[in-house]
Structure 1
Amino acid sequence: MHQDRFFIPNVSIDSEIWIEGKEAHHILHVKRAKQGNKITLFDGKGIEYKAVVVETQRARLKVFIESSLVVDREPNVSITIAVSIPKGKFSDILIQKCSELGIHTLTPLHCERSVVAIKETSAEKRERWNKIVIESSKQCKRNILTEITTGVAIEDFLKTLCDYDLSLMPCLRRHAMSLKAVLRERPSAKKIVCLIGPEGGFTDNEIERAVEKGCIPVTLGSSTLRIETAAIAVSSMLLYEYCL
């Protein structure tokens, strides 16, 4: 069963631990693990653990941690997507796919035309988003969890752009540069941030303030994309350029 992966945040080598809750249900009643079966655990911080099931009960199981190994499947660039969160299921899709792709950080961004306010990104909602990150990491075999930060107003986020090698702002501005051209001019970028605006796009004022802080307006093509489509597309383009 080493192909089956389960998320356990706190693990110690050469120890026995009880697994309970949702992961226990998955192991016992979906994968139907029995005593003696081997499973793989990961802690979300970069380490995989090989474990063997030593005891099963109706709602929990005990495993012995046999070994650990640092397994790095992360892209060689750190990408942050600061995004005006779309409504409903579309935010879940965005988070799931960006996590699968290997995005380092997702930051909910409040813009002038945002529909979902920062206050709506409640603790309950962020807990659901974190569960989506865990499930997608299990599926795609990532050992590092995408970090979802607290929401921030765009004017405050712009103050952090100096922390990045490259700051991008996809928009429909007439003189926006080709994303391909920008990336080809900056082959050594290692820490990248991309700002994704709301359905109505960034305002001219927001674009001007971003440019003043060093952000580069870029075009993703002639189509007007949904928020989640733009976030997934630009993530894929960045990974293709810098990692493949």
Structure 2
Amino acid sequence: MQRYFVDPEQMEEGYVTITGDDVNHIVRVMRSRVGDELICCNGRGRDVRGAIEEIGADAVRIRILEEGLPNRELPVQVTIAQGLPKGDKMELVIQKGTELGAFSFCVFTSKRTVVKLDDKKEKKRLERWQKIAKEAAEQSHRSRVPEVGSVLTWRELLATASRFHYALFAYEKEETATLRRTLSEVPPGSNVLIVIGPEGGFDETEAAEAEAAGFRSVSLGRRILRAETAPLYALSCVSYEFEQQE
């Protein structure tokens, strides 16, 4: 069943009003008609099943049939901090990371970051990344759309460690602390930051700076993963730890 995200104010008592680009998707792409059912989410935990009652030029009115649909979010809130990769790799990270349950994304630059974005390019990238997150959240039946934050500098990223219950730093030279062992210490309901480096990873100075800022270094296994593979591996580990062993 097709899923659409709406602002909380678009959900009234008994009804939902869909506006914007989703109207065109409902009418022209899905070719939906009065009586067809769909799911609407306000991004704050309220998911409803409804039936189309009225189709207008600029809005579609939905009558709510059922509240309290199953929660499909991870038991922990995982933010992926990704070193800005080359090409369209960030799009892959956001799309697949959203499907795997990421709560939010932030992008950062560090010593080995190759890509440089000016303000105009960054704005366009952020708009596209957010759109990709929304579409992936609808496809995977998420209850919320992950937020994609503005590009941070390395120093700005380090300063965010205190905002999380657990701030983890994926480092290829870590030999003892595995992600699996660290996740076993994390209780459900925690918010977790997982930092993934750009192509080329991190140097030893950055690793020391991360540790000094409160990050815990973790290993993602015996093999060296590509920048776009590492966050997906990490999210898969989180899902296995908190969902597949229930």
TM bracket (short chain)? 0.7 to 0.9
Q: Which amino acid in the other structure matches residue 147 of structure 2?
A: E
Deviates further, 186-195 or 74-83: 186-195
1:179 shift after superposition: 2.2
Superposition misfits of 4+ residues, deviation over 6 angstroms: none
Determine if contact 1:24/1:61 at 8 Å carries over to the other structure: yes
Residue 229, structure 1, aligned to residue 229, structure 2: yes
Q: Match of 2:156?
A: 156
Deviations 1:103-127 (A, max 9, x none): 1111111111112336466222111
CA distance in 1, matches of 2:42, 2:110: 34
Cα RMSD (Å): 2.4
Q: Residues 23-102 of structure 1 correspond to what in structure 2 (within 5 A)?
A: 23-56=22-55, 60-66=58-64, 69-71=67-69, 72-102=71-101
Distance 1:216 1:98 in 2: 21
* Residue segments in structure 1 that go unaligned for 5+ positions in a row: none
Q: 1:65 to 1:152 in 2, by over 3 A?
A: same
Higher mean C-alpha deviation, range 107-116 or range 65-74: 65-74
- Selected match of 1:8 from 6, 9, 12: 6
Say if 1:48 and 1:143, in contact at 8 Å, map to a contact too.
yes
Aligned residue for 1:209, secondary structure, equals helix
* Cα displacement (A) at 1:7: 2.5
Aligned twin of 2:210: 210
Q: How far off is 1:222 after superposition? A: 2.8
Q: CA deviation at 1:182?
A: 2.8
Matching residue's letter, 2:33: K
For 1:179, the equivalent position in structure 2 comes to 179
Shift in CA distance, 31/170, structure 1 to aligned 2, threshold 3 Å:
same
Q: Does 1:105 align with 2:104?
A: yes
Which whole-Å CA distance do the structure 1 matches of 2:239 and 2:221 have between them? Answer: 18
CA distance 1:51–1:67, shift in 2 (3 Å): same
CA 1:44–1:224: 2 relative to 1, 3 Å: same
TM-score (norm 1): 0.86
The Cα offsets for residues 64-104 of structure 1, whole Å up to 9 and x where unpaired, read as 43356354321111111111122232111100111111111
Q: 1:18 to 1:105 in 2, by over 3 A?
A: closer
1:223 aligns to what SS in structure 2? Answer: coil
Distance change >3 Å, CA 67–CA 12, structure 1 → 2: farther
Change (3 A) 1:33 1:60: farther
- Post-superposition Cα deviations, 1:113-144, rounded to whole Å, max 9, x if no partner, equal 11233646622211111111111111111111
Identity of aligned pairs, percent? 28
Residue segments in structure 2 that go unaligned for 5+ positions in a row: none
Give the counterpart letter for 1:115 in structure 2.
V
Structure 2: which amino acid aligns with 1:92? E
Q: State how far apart, in whole Å, the 2-side matches of 1:179 and 1:191 are.
A: 15
Work out the CA distance in 2 between the residues paired with 1:126 and 1:174.
32
Q: 1:54 to 1:187 in 2, by over 3 A?
A: closer
Distance 1:227 1:211 in 2: 21
Aligned length: 240
Measured after TM superposition, the shift of residue 243 of structure 1 is: 3.2
| Local SS of the residue matching 2:92 | helix
Which amino acid counterpart does residue 8 of structure 1 have in structure 2?
V
The answer to whether the Cα contact below 8 Å between 1:18 and 1:63 also exists between their aligned partners in 2 is yes
Whole-Å separation in 2 of the counterparts to 1:212 and 1:15 = 52
Does the 8 Å CA contact 1:77/1:243 hold for their aligned counterparts? no
Match of 2:123 in 1: 123
Matches of 1:32 and 1:136, distance apart in 2: 21
